Structure 1
């Protein structure tokens, strides 16, 4: 331990106090010993430090900060150095706002396109996500503060996120859902990890000894701090034993008492508590050092805005360019249509929402872009209501134009933390507008703004398609520069776009609605499934067009990696993302047809060539063997593929690899779907063979009384008529608010009430409601109405009395 002498001076009560927050965003301080509090703030793509009352839902406005493109956008750059530069800027702004721990980046896998938080995550591929995250982390921590990679782990749905049990086999967990975290720890050297809300195979992640101790600490040698997601602590003592140091937000001392009792009873060894205190002290002192050297630092808002624009420019993806309609020719008359051109859709919603320092909108930037605009029409209502008058006015404008720029996308209430999307569709009123415009002018270029994959049955009606994702505060200008050709697009998709949602591998098992969610598809998420099962897609993983062309040649496979030549065969300077995929030719152990194992972004002038080397590393040939319980290498011939996307392989070669002679871990006869790759319809029996045990019941036991980890939604089955009535009031309020257009408020009800477990009432209220009071509420819910309320108010009285005595 690094702070043994200081810890010796601390009382048990002081040690316990450090393990929970002082308030919503700060850790506890101990002035007697010179231990300051530190500040944690949201910030995957911009700092969210609130000036007024603190919350975790993005309700109260924060101090202005640069809103960079979200992770889903920057992932399309495939540029680790860009991620590091963004991290550097984020770190500078965090220091300017005196933030010690920046809560990001997020590296959870895009298991389903419908996860409401996909805009905050990088990729459907763990290698890609891990590399991008490591870049961000290095940049943030270069400024002396801490990044916080999240949400650890297997947190891939928002619905019931605080209580859902993720059922996943060990190999899939290791290869798909933990690899990005592993890279973030090993290559990013993150100082902080955030545990997720969900359970993992029956245990809450922050209490899961296998995840927290055996993997994170013992295998990966992580020596930093683990912080709960806000309100994510279930059993505080079990969390500490697992090595989850910091609980946020404050519980007003309630869980401190749990820790003290556990130490005095022998349930928690004081040495374990001391280890946790030591790691937290190291985080406090190392991140406070930057403020001791320079207590006040300002950042250049204009410089950071330009950096946000450059990041957006490199992340924009050109998906369609029929007849070379793009870049727009000089002097062409353009009609600008779509509400998103007037009010940019540039970021997601929830805890990551940023109050931008500057905000570009298309209509404010179009004149300086050189585009000749003949006018603007919104064309549609932003939140989905059909308006024929707006369609008619848009069509009248489109008739006069040579090209229509149509700004489409998803609105702010569709993609939000705490909620999953209901479908993969663009709102119907926008599609109706597109069809109407097509009848009067077929030269349509769509500019798409959303943070996740959408279905595009309408794509045959457009000649050009630019996807900006959620491109941050400078995204509007960046998109215009791509449209005019000032910037040659170089972004490539970091997720597959299926033809329809029903084609996705997790379709039948997303989201988990009650107790658990089964990851029956195993390793086969994203392109791993589509390529192996030969499922046709709209746009493959790694796909993106350019205004120039690239030729690949001269592949050479050497022990260190694969070398090849890229030539810019077009007439413009541009950048190409070359991707290394590896496939194993053995049939002994099931694997996807190909897996991403490296990538390189190469900038070339027209006519220039460059030889590129993508090195092999410790992850190139490995798989996790559940029989030996470790990483192994299968001795086999491996196909080495260099592609412009997962579906556009330009060069191939064979490489023989010596193995570790591990035993084959599977009975092939019992896992036919996994060996064939047809993992979209795995039976329960086959999934149980993969797991090695029976799957738990996926539905609530409606005969049992409700407890701490049951949700408010389960009040519909409560014994108490009062509780059932309360549930119906909540459900009605949600429907009513949605219908009258108060959709953000309706979403808030679902996120912070409907899916909240009862323990969350205590964990998220900062001591206003404690666990004994919650016991009273549960008595009410379970049919003991008068006894429950008496208990509630009696315990509240006790709490207020103690608080008064302490003051």
Structure 2
């Protein structure tokens, strides 16, 4: 979209505003909205969280909206076309709710597999992340909805996320953690960026002048708006001078009068305030919030309708990854199947925290597979949750103030709510909340989520409970509140009431669900069902307890006795397929005991339909891993997430993920970044290189159409340079079809930050691979400074000089008569004259 503002227009608008009015516009009006100003034609704007769906302006009880597959699952397609489509669909979801800016994509890297929020981010690789992010941004902004690329920068863990100081050397920061932002800015020009909670090398991200002003707005020439993460800003003058343009949320914050005073005291130039406001007005012009209210489209697909069901099923299934398969997949439709596991019945379709949305439905794997084929027996599994979770029903919510006055009486469409919000407009603060709902009879597990004192009543029984805060994070108890539960037997439908005196800002909810079987009973029933079926499909996984904002993991082991369940089933079944319902790596000690493994991610609202389509081969699960799976806890190049004395040192430097594994900085992974089988088989021909484009003849040698991901990695010759992905391309071929596939190598991945400047890497090898565990070909690359190479060879022993030029990409072709060794690279020929085994002259010609 063209930007309709020019410098004169901006100056005229700013001239109408006093300093106080300028500053007022630079803090949010509410949790997710900005103020307007009629005199300068500025309309209010609305923002929404958006990693896996456009939630809207409400944390709970808001409108129904599409729940998309999570970021790692979408990224596993390795298709920029998929990312762009997701951006366009999210733009439609934003329009349906009159949202101007979607807070996504998340481009932080998978530095350590313990990161709780990895499910929101694309991958461990900066190039793949950057290309997918740019496509997502392009798709979103092509519809006039702003993207917000987040979180700038070095924000790869959740532990102490508001205070941690990420200690990162400049080379690592530039080559890895800033690169996805740089690619997104270069290729898609996002209209906004979000500054993170953490510090970087001692400076808060919201005050990080070297990054915000020096790199983002300076070197990269970016003209967009830099907003804070919610409640991240702690200062007035340092943040304003450090490049932050907008403080979120509102209506209060550290700016306002304090920033006005800082300007009047000379601590902040008014020109700085004007620059922030220019960027805000530019954003408004881009999203249709300047001069007149935007006309929102109304002819958009419904969140739960047929159009969205097809789109979201396809997007989820295409990213699923086959990690092992002896031929058991795809499933034969005539087979009898024992579908086993708690995640089969209660499939985790989304992660926790700000990524959560209120979906029209969430299809379980049990529902999806029984709908798609006959002969399926569904058996519950072992417990997978350690914590209480809110029920799946509506409830009445009554809120009271300190005076005892009833402030609000409404029905929440979810069994969760929040006691108060910073921007809540009520007669007085809320101090007491009463939640109630009618629950079915039978054996039930009932309970409450809250921080404070609660009286829980169900029928004639009453329980007094005290629930204390479990988190130092400002949003920790809100996103994952503590809970209490107990098992009861009810004669029939019974009213469940929780009367809560609030003890802090936290999420609230009611718990009511059927009492589950014991683990021992579940394993016994699973073994019996597996023994009677042609094939057992066991679903294991994580939940929003592990895949969540504000909390990191402490282990990659599956929770509960899920590993024991898989082994017991595998010992009893004729064939065993395991579906992993998780967004991030898990340990699989039973991998050698089973016949196939399908990694299914957090598949969104159509999750069960997508898993069924993948298992049956209706849609090929052609995904490739976007992060390496360690073989054991601690067995990765970077592991810990807990800071020491407030500092989290990125000691592994540039050797993150597969880069570190390839350099033997950790034991070999269980599964490599880029690994995945799909349902096809592939033959790779000769690899050639011309003008930074790698070409390879690719043949689908299987009996079915399939999609392949051709990956190209650069292995530099320099010891301190890790291997890195420099290009990739996806291609779909019919059975027996051959095609020449070209992969352009991105120069932004083929350089190093050296003594304050970029230096291109030259020499080494380009590897063509299906993940680094399956290299299919290679081609040498030129070293670069030919004159320097030639001069370096003179005086060296012949065998040593030959190795140098071989490493530089030259190949020995002939041993010429006499005292000359001839070597070729492309159309050039290098000659080494030698005497008594020592090089006396080196030249090309």
TM-score (norm 2): 0.74
Q: How far is 1:523 from its partner?
A: 0.5
Give the SS at the match of 2:524: helix
Three-state SS of the structure 2 residue aligned to 1:482 is helix
Written as runs of structure 1 = structure 2, the 5 A alignment for 1:96-495 is: 96-252=96-252, 255-288=255-288, 292=293, 294-301=295-302, 302=305, 303-322=307-326, 324-373=327-376, 375-383=377-385, 387-495=519-627
1:181 CA drift (Å): 0.7
User: Which residues of 2 match residues 486-635 of structure 1 at below 5 A?
Assistant: 486-507=618-639, 509-533=640-664, 535-587=667-719, 590-592=720-722, 594-625=723-754, 627=755, 629-634=756-761
Query: Which segments of 5 or more consecutive residues in structure 2 lack a partner in the other structure?
Result: 1-6, 387-515, 789-845
CA drift at 1:220: 1.0
8 Å Cα contact 2:44-2:289 kept in structure 1: no
Change in Cα spacing, 1:40 to 1:659, as seen in structure 2 (3 Å) is farther
Q: CA deviation at 1:510?
A: 2.8
Tell me if structure 2 keeps the 8 A contact 1:89–1:304.
no
Rounded Cα–Cα distance in structure 2 between residues aligned with 1:405 and 1:272: 60
**1:293–1:101 Cα change, 3 Å:** closer
Deviates further, 527-536 or 76-85: 527-536
Q: Which moved more, 1:155-164 or 1:475-484?
A: 475-484
- What is the CA deviation profile of residues 707-741 of structure 1, one whole-angstrom value per residue up to 9, with x for unaligned ones? xxxxxxxxxxxxxxxxxxxxxxxxxxxxxxxxxxx
Hey, what's the Cα distance between the residues in 1 that align with 2:190 and 2:680?
38
Aligned counterpart, 2:830 = none
Give the direction of change, closer, same or farther, for the CA distance of 1:132–1:444 in structure 2 (3 Å limit): same
Structure-2 separation of matches of 1:661 and 1:235: 54
CA contact under 8 A between 1:144 and 1:289: conserved in structure 2? Answer: no
- Report Cα offsets for 1:571-610 as digits up to 9, x if no partner: 01000000010111234xx111x21001000000000011
Which residue is 2:773 aligned to?
Answer: 647
Q: Is the 8 A contact 1:66 1:305 kept in 2?
A: no
Larger Rg over CA atoms: 2
Q: Which has the higher helix share?
A: 1
* Partners of 2:361 and 2:779 in 1: CA distance: 49
Report the Cα offset of residue 370 of structure 1.
Answer: 2.3
CA distance in 2, matches of 1:530, 1:223: 38
Q: Which protein is richer in strand relative to its size?
A: 2
Query: Is 2:47 the counterpart of 1:36?
Result: no
Structure 1: 5+ residue runs without aligned partners?
Answer: 52-57, 663-807
What is the CA–CA distance in structure 2 between the aligned matches of 1:111 and 1:363, rounded to whole Å?
34
Alignment of 1:8-47 (within 5 A): 8-47=15-54
How far the C-alpha of 1:357 sits from its partner, in A, is: 2.5
Counterpart mapping for 1:33-72 below 5 A: 33-51=40-58, 58=59, 60-72=60-72
Aligned CA RMSD, in angstroms, stands at 1.8
> Does structure 2 conserve the Cα–Cα contact (< 8 Å) formed by 1:160 and 1:513?
no
SS at match of 2:651: coil
The 2-side partners of 1:394 and 1:376 are apart by 9
SS in 1 for 2:564: helix
Deviation at 1:640, TM superposition (A): 1.1
Aligned partners of 2:591, 2:280: CA distance in 1, in Å? 52
User: CA-to-partner distance for each residue in 1:286-319, whole Å, 9 max, x for gaps?
Assistant: 2125984633424213212211111111100001
Q: CA deviation at 1:29?
A: 1.9
Q: Deviations over 1:392-433 (max 9, x none)?
A: 222222221111111110122122100001111001311222
Post-superposition Cα deviations, 1:780-804, rounded to whole Å, max 9, x if no partner, equal: xxxxxxxxxxxxxxxxxxxxxxxxx
The SS at the match of 2:33 is coil
Q: Take 2:370 and 2:114, find their aligned partners in 1: how far apart are those partners?
A: 37
List 4+ stretches of structure 1 deviating above 4 A: 289-293, 659-662
What is the CA–CA distance in structure 2 between the aligned matches of 1:656 and 1:285, rounded to whole Å? 47
Q: How many residues align?
A: 646
| Residue equivalent to 2:797 | none
Distance 1:348 1:591 in 2: 35
Aligned equivalents of 1:442, 1:221: Cα separation in 2: 61
1:537 is paired with a residue of what secondary structure? Answer: coil
Q: Conserved in 2, the CA contact under 8 Å of 1:442 and 1:461?
A: no
